[in-house]
Amino acid sequence: MSYSLTLHTPDGGSPHARQQAERRFCQVLEEALGDAALVAPVYAAVQRIRAQHGPEPDTEALTTDERTVLEMWQHAETLALEAVFGPHRHLDEGGYEIRPG
């Protein structure tokens, strides 16, 4: 894996449950993006897009490539978050941190 992931959950949970959730998150994210090797570079590209255009970029202001990368990430992220937190998740349910490996 070319990255590491840490899930942040409000209830904490057991270390074993958190590790299982992190594995599930990574699995779904990797499947949605097509390969584990794509997670870190796509995430880094999205971070650059958000730094340049704001946290919720106007997709019309993005180049076609930027829009494609952002939409691909948002789709994969949504699937991974739903896999861990469920389809009716709320913003206060926790988040994640990805670091290049």
pLDDT at residue number 60: 94
Nearest in space to 93 (alpha carbons), one of 4, 11, 34, 6 = 11
Q: Which pair of tokens denotes residue 11?
A: 């209830």
What span, in angstroms and rounded, lies between the C-alpha atoms of 19 and 13?
10
What span, in angstroms and rounded, lies between the C-alpha atoms of 63 and 52?
12
pLDDT at residue number 93: 65
Q: How confident is the model at residue 86 (pLDDT cuts 50, 70, 90)?
A: confident
Confidence (pTM): 0.89
Q: Which residue has the higher pLDDT, 40 or 92?
A: 40
Q: Which residue has the higher pLDDT, 85 or 23?
A: 23
Query: Do 36 and 1 contact (CB within 8 A), yes or no?
Result: yes
Kindly tell me if the per-residue pLDDT of 91 is higher than 80: no
- Mean pLDDT, residues 47-57: 96
Q: Which pair of tokens denotes residue 99?
A: 């670091």
Kindly tell me if the per-residue pLDDT of 28 is higher than 60: yes
